[in-house]
Structure 1
């Protein structure tokens, strides 16, 4: 079946800017059989160019029109007549658009039941894909159907992945529809200007944001029904349509949320979380974890991690990472239980 290409609709022109002179010009033309713009300009003692500008405004508002049978002469029109000519067609067009909108809504509602039935009987419980377009479509589907809450755990915006970047405007839209959103970032996100700029939009919309000393991984959960989690080391994403998995991730999020710190957009820098971050770094250093592992656990780049480690070593007067770990253990700055678990 072929469909005819739709031609773009022409928008109605916006009226030119109205000023007091245009009103004064119009008042001077009232009660005359016809008039010449230059004559009105002479009467008002203004340049003719200004009179022509006023005429342009009045023409667009349909308050003047050419006089019949007389060249280069105009006649004033009453506002009521101008309204009939200018506004009635626009109001009719608005009414037609509303009827078309209602018609489209009625037609689309016929497909809602079929869609919901398909969603309830979805054959696949897990879809693994690295196709960016498919990921975007599945994110859009989950977000548009979200009515209660969105849960997010992610690194700072500067290090976010493709699906998290796509999810940002969708989370904002879910908030505007009345859903709740709770987002967990690592403490290091507090020092990231791009993250703070994004949170400047998220917080006023009603989103709740906290930071924690460790973000083990990233995931999104919509309504505890659909989850988006990494699938391996590449760009592949596992979309899980299984309530039990989504509920499990929601539980992980809730436990991390309890010990996390509220994010205050007005507070500068790490805002009191630096000691918590420093303690976590010391624990991981004492465990012997590699830089790559530590950086991923706390949500920062390896370069930033090395800068923090250098500062910690300087504070402890340590000449090596091992010595820093030993000194931290002796002074009680690390948690032995956490170190053995790590």
Structure 2
């Protein structure tokens, strides 16, 4: 039985000496090792190696009935005998590859649909239960690696909430985390908030205030964002947890934009008159847009009573007896030409819920 010439490196190679040995075997009608060695002036071992090469290439095969006698075979017959099995293997392998490709590609629709569902499940979580939400906030706060960003619209937090928040904020700062906290200007007049801010800024936190904000927001390591639930009735709103990278990056840009337009809050160092001017200008803008006292108060995170007091002061300053006249006089005075803070945005009235501002 001829040896197979197809190895891991391919078919055996026919060198010049083996070709000469084949021509001599054709001339003699058989391959005799000793005669080939003498004719080609090579060693018997070399003649054996050439014999093995010629047999691997199917150019030599045993004579029927005399297995010890090797006779030469025509190259045409040898190549058919040699290559046909390899060609069959190639065809079978190609067919197998084609079938595997077809079977695997048939799974693509299921893969993309399953991945879409998985991404939806992993990218967003709605947490309606306040206790579960607070546990998640505590967990992410403890596992945060470098930065926590918070935006807290509305008026001042309660002294009890700030008292609970202070140890955790200081603990985060001791771990080397960067804390950036964003509030509305109205918290600057609150004694409890001022005390809290003094403590955390002394420990390294950054606190700023702005006239208006979009909504409550907590961002951990610029990878996870907590947003409040919307349009919830009959219960305290929970939160939506956002993990989808593109949306998280967008929300981080929104926060950075708000932060860039906000004023640093460092108790004892800020100019209160400048802040009052900013508040005044914010109220003037909202009055000029025709908003009622209640909406002005909600937008700026203050009580309706406080908003009405500021509105009365502004009307007195511009010598107006009605809101319409005040709007006209303000426009003529050029107060609206000043640029302070961000464009008005809806924040909604503050409501009880998880302690977003603890971080």
Task: Give the number of the structure with larger relative contact order, counting CA–CA contacts within 8 Å between residues 6 or more apart.
Answer: 2
Offset of 1:171 from its aligned partner? 3.6
Determine the structure 1 residue equivalent to 2:203. 205
- Answering whether residue 294 of structure 2 is matched by residue 292 of structure 1, we say yes
Change (3 A) 1:230 1:171: same
Contact 1:224 1:243 in 2 (8 A): no
Q: 1:185 aligns with which of 179, 183, 186?
A: 183
Offset of 1:128 from its aligned partner? 1.9
1:120-269 equivalence runs, <5 A? 123-155=121-153, 158-159=156-157, 169-233=167-231, 234-267=236-269
* 1:223-278 deviation per Cα after TM superposition (whole angstroms, max 9, x unaligned): 11111111115422212223333322221121122222111211478352111111
Q: CA–CA distance in 2 between the matches of 1:169 and 1:247?
A: 29
2:317 aligned counterpart, secondary structure: helix
Change (3 A) 1:167 1:145: farther
Q: CA–CA distance in 1 between the matches of 2:119 and 2:139?
A: 16
Contact 1:187 1:211 in 2 (8 A): yes
Greater Rg by CA: 2
Change (3 A) 1:263 1:150: same
Q: CA–CA distance in 1 between the matches of 2:149 and 2:251?
A: 9
* 1:71-120 deviation per Cα after TM superposition (whole angstroms, max 9, x unaligned): xxxxxxxxxxxxxxxxxxxxxxxxxxxxxxxxxxxxxxxxxxxxxxxxx9
2:326 aligned counterpart, secondary structure: helix
Q: CA–CA distance in 2 between the matches of 1:219 and 1:305?
A: 25
Change (3 A) 1:184 1:251: same
- Answering whether residue 248 of structure 2 is matched by residue 280 of structure 1, we say no
Q: CA–CA distance in 2 between the matches of 1:156 and 1:193?
A: 16
Offset of 1:335 from its aligned partner? 4.1
Contact 2:133 2:239 in 1 (8 A): yes
**TM-score, normalization by structure 2:** 0.55
Contact 1:182 1:207 in 2 (8 A): yes
Q: CA–CA distance in 2 between the matches of 1:163 and 1:130?
A: 21
Q: CA–CA distance in 2 between the matches of 1:157 and 1:333?
A: 25
Q: CA–CA distance in 1 between the matches of 2:221 and 2:279?
A: 31
Change (3 A) 1:267 1:164: closer
Offset of 1:325 from its aligned partner? 1.1
Q: CA–CA distance in 2 between the matches of 1:273 and 1:240?
A: 34
2:282 aligned counterpart, secondary structure: helix
Q: CA–CA distance in 2 between the matches of 1:123 and 1:130?
A: 16
Aligned-CA RMSD value: 3.2
Q: CA–CA distance in 1 between the matches of 2:155 and 2:167?
A: 13
Q: CA–CA distance in 2 between the matches of 1:122 and 1:173?
A: 34
Contact 2:224 2:248 in 1 (8 A): yes
Contact 2:144 2:220 in 1 (8 A): yes
Q: CA–CA distance in 2 between the matches of 1:269 and 1:142?
A: 36
Q: CA–CA distance in 2 between the matches of 1:247 and 1:163?
A: 30
Offset of 1:217 from its aligned partner? 1.8
Q: CA–CA distance in 1 between the matches of 2:285 and 2:201?
A: 32
1:203 aligned counterpart, secondary structure: helix
Contact 1:191 1:270 in 2 (8 A): no
Determine the structure 1 residue equivalent to 2:104. none
Contact 1:155 1:186 in 2 (8 A): yes
